[in-house]
Amino acid sequence: MIAQSTIDKVYEIARVEEVIGDYVQLKKSGANYKGLSPFNSEKTPSFMVSPVKQIWKDFSSGKGGNVVAFLMEHEHFTYPEAIRYLAKKYNVEIEETEQSSEEKEQMNRRESLYLVNKFAQEQFSKDLVEFSEGMAIGLTYLKERGFTDETIQFFGLGYAAEQRDHFYKRATKAGYAEEYLVETGLVIKNERGAVDRFRGRVIFPIRSMAGRVQGFGGRILSSTTKTAKYLNSPESEIYHKSQVLYGIYEAKKAIAKEDVCYLVEGYTDVIQMYQKGVENVVSSSGTALTPEQIRLIRRLTSNVVVLFDGDAAGLRAAIRGIDLILEEGMNVRICSFPEGEDPDSFAKTHSLEEVKSYLSEQAKDFIQFKTDLLLQEAANDPVKKATTVREIVQSISKIPDAIKQEIYLRECALQMEVSEAVLFNTLAKEKNKKSVPVRKIAPAAVKQDLPLQKSNIKPSANNPLLILEKQIISILIQYGNDEAFFDELLVFSDEEGNLIEESKTIQSKVYEKVFLDLQQDEVEMIQPEFQTLYTQLIEKFQREGEVKPEKMIQQEDPNIGKILTDMLLADEEYQLHDWEKKNIFVKDRKSVVGQLVTETILTFRRYLVDQKIQNLMTIAKEEESEKIEFLEEVMQYQNLKKLLSKKLNRVI
């Protein structure tokens, strides 16, 4: 593990404008730099870098963060990989934290496996172009497939000699331990000695997202040998077949740039498509698609086009993979090739323009694809048609987004000539199969100060509370340590239960005002990242008296880093448009921070009161015997809502 001292030193020395300047042409804009987005095609700058705050923000895509976050987004590094890259760039010596002997052994073991695979890939590639057998058999085969020398080298293709222990002898002579050769699956050890697993095969190295060789795929070329046509490395500590995609390292930049990933079946499909010019393509390596593989793609894009052969088996395989992709919240289309064709052969015999045109025109939405395929099988049989409708609705039920579900149901109703009501009813039944009973909300005791209690509201993109929570965090991160004047609203009950309102102006630090108000309401934020940030901020203010944004943003979680960046650069977005040159001046929020805090907290409390009223009304309907008690409590909260609205000058 990289020592924290090394991470701190990297952050201290690395300059965000220098690192990003290697990828984006930046121009000075006041205290900041601006440039064209590296994530989207655009003609006017929407990308901003702040040297002072050491953060960046892409206003076109919504991405942002610190220097490490940029490398994770643009180069698709993991957090440790980004730190190591920066350490190398700025000549920072990497220190590892003190580990137990078991941890050191485990790390050394993993690293040894990677080194063995690296050596193997280099040897296989060398044997392909320098060894007579490799040139005569392996290289000839690859050339016949139409692969150029540049493509062969780019994908690190190779050849394993037919001799029983050709690779084993080379590896042991080079000093590689036999146990690692066996564990990676490169060598099989039995009572007759050591045997090369991939002998007599063309080799396809399988790389991780970071480019390290995790395993190999080998294709046998001899037609007389009774063995599997394709052979993969066995499962090991560094290779899990269900968690890798062939070509992901080579395709990751193109996938992110094009915002779509083409998913094919085989190694040669990937290579031929890439060579033709369609670089955003990966393969599941002939195995059934898994959720882990889909999540790898989701790190780069939410759009997938599944390419399959025109045969029935291929089309059925496409259907099996659809539901898994939908469950991950991704958009999926299907493109099948003419009978007898596959992505490899089609790309080989057509121009780039023809390939791109075919993919664009023939890719069908999954509803259209599944409907066409299943209706062909159902013919005019009403029973089979009913089964087909249920299968499609089952697929739609996998989609997490309710809006998408409704759109697809309406489309399905048109294509299948079934009423929308029937489909919505079927969807509801599918959901009920998976639903978990919701626990009733226990009635809260009425207190004099009417606490709002912790919210049990679930996050939703349309929930105004999320906007208010973000505003609260933004206020704390930017103005938390500032002194300001606040209009304090005090609400309490008299002896007869009437709500009494008092207002007064107080002076306080911003973080103290926010903390005391939220503590009084016993509130927890509904967005987990916001709650995490809120807790961190308050603890830092209380312990250290201040918060340094550049330190706060140095978090491994990219989601939290992005949230912080959005807030820190919120006031600077207008610089991209040069509003001042047009005599339009944006008001500085710092000048009205007291009013901003007061209005935010009051609005936040008002929404919580609304939610409390809704909860009580629900309970009142279910608990008829205690209905009067609940209604009395509802009236008290309604009065509090009126006072809050009055203070905010709103009509309800």
**What sign does the dihedral 147-148-149-150 (CA atoms) show?**
negative
- Name beta bridge partners: 508: 484
* Amino acid occupying residue 302: S
Q: 237: Cβ–Cβ under 8 A, 6 or more apart, which residues?
A: 109, 110, 113, 183
- Name beta bridge partners: 189: 194
pLDDT score, position 202 = 96
pLDDT score, position 246 = 95
* Domain coordinates in residue numbering, the chain: 4-89, 101-239, 366-434, 464-571+585-647
Measure the CA–CA gap between 13 and 19, rounded to whole angstroms: 11
195 HSE (CA, 13 A, CB side): 11
pLDDT score, position 317 = 58
pLDDT score, position 134 = 92
Let me know: does 445 contact 506? Beta carbons within 8 Å: no
Alpha helices for 328-463 (secondary structure H): 343-349, 352-362, 366-378, 382-397, 402-416, 420-434
Low-confidence ranges of the chain (pLDDT < 70): 97-107, 223-225, 286, 310-320, 378-379, 432-463, 487-504, 519-524, 550, 555-556, 558, 570-592, 616-637, 639-641, 643-652
- Name beta bridge partners: 57: 48, 64
- pTM of whole model > 0.75? no
pLDDT score, position 651 = 39
pLDDT score, position 123 = 96
- Name beta bridge partners: 489: 503
In whole angstroms, what separates CA 621 from the centre of its chain? 41
**What sign does the dihedral 617-623-626-627 (CA atoms) show?**
positive
- Domain 101-239 fold: DNA primase DNAg catalytic core, N-terminal domain (3.90.980)
Measure the CA–CA gap between 581 and 578, rounded to whole angstroms: 6
Q: 282: Cβ–Cβ under 8 A, 6 or more apart, which residues?
A: 245, 246, 247, 248, 251, 255, 261, 262, 263, 264, 270, 297
pLDDT score, position 490 = 58
CATH classification for the domain delimited by 366-434, as one of 3.40.50.720, 1.20.50.20, 3.30.470.10, 3.40.50.450: 1.20.50.20
pLDDT score, position 259 = 85
Token digits of residue 573? 């977005």
Backbone angles phi, psi at 213, to 5 degrees: -75, 115
DSSP 158-169: EEE-SSTTHHHH
Let me know: does 562 contact 63? Beta carbons within 8 Å: yes
Q: Does domain 4-89 have CATH number 3.40.50.2300?
A: no
With CA atoms as reference, report the closest residue to 264 among 200, 345, 374, 369: 345
